[in-house]
Amino acid sequence: MIATAYCRCNSGHYFEGEFCPFDGWSSPASKELTQAVEQLARAHREISMEELRKAGVSAAALDRTIVIQFGSSASVFEAVAPHEYVVNGEAKTVRHLDRNFK
């Protein structure tokens, strides 16, 4: 299995690295996350929310982070652009979500 950490941009996309490939968005959080992931890789440590926290990733950056564990490296993607989320049992487009999702 392989885990990958993704940062959420203001458009609701999730991406790995410093810049969103969909719109070029970047932030201190995406830069911080990228540096921590590189640090964990150099130390041969698994990527997880707990390991990112232990590596010193700020709460603000963790709030924008998801970690997805894949069964195969062939299934890993660099970014995803969800168009809808189900929150509290209701389907909503990204533009109808509050700032916690942007």
The pLDDT profile of the chain, 102 residues, written as one tens digit per residue, is 899 999 999 888 999 999 999 999 999 999 999 999 999 999 999 999 999 999 999 999 999 999 999 999 999 999 999 988 898 899 998 888 887 776
- Domain holding 33, by residue range, is 2-101
Query: What is the pLDDT at residue 17?
Result: 97
Q: 12: closest CA among 69, 63, 80?
A: 80
Query: What is the pLDDT at residue 34?
Result: 98
Question: Length of the chain, please?
Answer: 102
Number of domains in the chain: 1
Query: What is the pLDDT at residue 96?
Result: 85
Q: Edge-to-edge strands of the sheet including 14-15? A: 65-70, 2-8, 14-15, 79-80
